[in-house]
Structure 1
Amino acid sequence: MGALEQQLYRLQKWKMRVDRARNGVDALYRSAGEAAADKGLAAVRALTPVETGRLQMGWQKRVSRTGSSYQVSLLNEVAYAPYVEFGHRAGKSGFVPGRYMMSRGRIAAQTALAMEVARAEAKILTQVKQ
């Protein structure tokens, strides 16, 4: 086998590794998004004040893909969630300050997402290099 054939053979093997890694990219990024959403959800639930538990159990996560982008969403559809998050007036007694559980929990989710994406990208690069 000549030098040119060896180079062609190595190039074909490398292309197969790249194709195999590309096929797993969606699953890796989705799992990274799910892991980050789980950590963010845990942080938001821990920061949510509890009286009946309805607000705390109302937190949900969604990971969606649009084109080549992924979106991680934490949401709460309980009607009074914005009042607890941002605060509200309380008749003549003044103002009840917000708890900002979503705002603070978002930081935990973003940190977790950065770590999970870095881990996924390292795994992809490892697959290509092998």
Structure 2
Amino acid sequence: MGKNVDYKQFEQFKKKLEKTLSDESRQKFMEDCAKELAARLLSRVIKLSPTKTSALKKQWSIDNKIINVEKVGGTYHCTIFNSIDYASYVNYGHRTRGHGGWVDGQFFLEISENEVNALAPALLEKRLMEYMKEAFK
């Protein structure tokens, strides 16, 4: 009454799943997600930066035009920066010359971060679904 069972397809599926979900593959997936979020943040902060002289807009960048991802514990970090020395004053606000008044900050970096944080869950869910579909093809 015994039945013969062919496990070849199951073994093939197991190998594909192990390859797709390997430590290296997961690391690359996480880095790619971090890079995409950093690129979106950079794009938004450039758009929101004041354009009085356009110098502030032009100086936003990522190290060497390449988005580097650093993993610290379980968190992935990407750095974007603006090399204009007065960027923080425009963003956060500053006293006027002679300290007679205050110029309000425009908070373009925080606004950009909030926008990216709002879209991140949907974007990451979509990327995760694409990543997992690869394992189940």
TM-score normalised to structure 1 length: 0.79
CA distance in 1, matches of 2:120, 2:68: 12
CA distance in 2, matches of 1:125, 1:86: 41
Shift of 1:50: 1.6
Indicate the residue corresponding to 2:8 in structure 1. 9
User: 29-38 or 101-110: which moved more?
Assistant: 29-38
User: 47-56 or 67-76: which moved more?
Assistant: 67-76
Indicate the residue corresponding to 2:70 in structure 1. 65
Indicate the residue corresponding to 1:104 in structure 2. 111
CA distance in 2, matches of 1:88, 1:111: 28
CA distance in 1, matches of 2:124, 2:78: 12
CA distance in 1, matches of 2:81, 2:47: 15
Deviations 1:35-60 (A, max 9, x none): 22222112111111122222111212
Q: Which amino acid aligns with 2:85?
A: A
Partner of residue 121 from structure 1, selected from 124, 128, 131: 128
Indicate the residue corresponding to 2:89 in structure 1. 83
TM-score normalised to structure 2 length: 0.76
CA distance in 1, matches of 2:122, 2:82: 25
The change in CA–CA distance for 1:65 and 1:120 in structure 2 (over 3 A counts) is farther
**Larger helix share, 1 or 2:** 1
The percent identity for this pair of structures is 18
After TM superposition, what 4+ stretches of structure 1 lie above 6 angstroms from structure 2?
none
Indicate the residue corresponding to 1:26 in structure 2. 27
**Structure 2 gaps, min length 5:** none
Q: Which amino acid aligns with 1:126?
A: K
Partner of residue 94 from structure 1, selected from 86, 98, 101: 101
Indicate the residue corresponding to 2:44 in structure 1. 43
